[in-house]
Structures are given as C-alpha cells and as structure tokens.
Amino acid sequence: MNYPKPPFPNQQQPMPGLTDVMKPVPDHGETSYKGSGRLAGKKAVITGGDSGIGRAVAIAFAREGADVLVSYLKEDDDARETARYVDEVGRKTLLVPGDTTSGSLSCGRCQSAFRTRWH
C-alpha cells in the first residue's frame, strides 16, 4: 500500500464531518482489509457507520461475513458509500438515519428495522 505520510494539513469541519472533503481521504479498509469469515451468518448494528471508525467497522464486519445495520446522523451520501462497500462483498446493508443521543433513533427502532428487513 502507498499510504500518505504526515504532516497532514489542519482541517476543521462542523460536526458531523464529511469523509470525501478530508485531505487525504481516510483509509477505512475499503481495499486494504481482507476478511476471513469470522462473522459469517451474523448481523451487526453499527452506530456512526457512515464515516470514520464506524465505516471501518462496517466494512470489516461485512468482510468477515456479517450483514450490517448502519445508523447515522444525516450524511446520506457517506452512508450510501458505506453501504456500497458492504454490498460489494455480498453482504446486506440496512441504513437507518437518526440520532441515538436525542431519542430519534432508539434501540427499538433498530430492532424493528432488523426484523422487518431480515426476518
């Protein structure tokens, strides 16, 4: 891999930030992570899965064989990009927008989405 080397420019974005405007764009394991099926047949809920560590976890879990429910705030384009990487490895993705800290996205809503889509 040819990873960028520091120093990196200072960057500030209002929260929540967008992945595609970062320089350099972060490596979430899109091409570098190779799974081995350790989560085959499992399902996972990942909060903040549209970018950053959440996106990296969603990609890793999918490459390990899990279907992934990704909750996120309002970065629809970033969330769809995460879903694309999950779908590329043959796993299912369910995108659920909402804020877990405000109550607009509850555990019950995630469970309901899971049951509706995957049961």
Better-predicted residue by pLDDT, 45 or 107 = 45
Q: Which residue has the tokens 């879990």?
A: 61
Better-predicted residue by pLDDT, 11 or 84 = 84
Mean pLDDT of 30-53: 89
Class of CATH domain 43-118: alpha beta
Question: Quick one: pLDDT band at residue 1, thresholds 50, 70, 90?
Answer: low
Give whole-number Cα distances, 54 to 1, 19, 29, in Å. 22, 12, 11
Mean pLDDT of 56-60: 95
Q: What is the pTM of this model?
A: 0.80
How much is the pLDDT for 52? Answer: 87
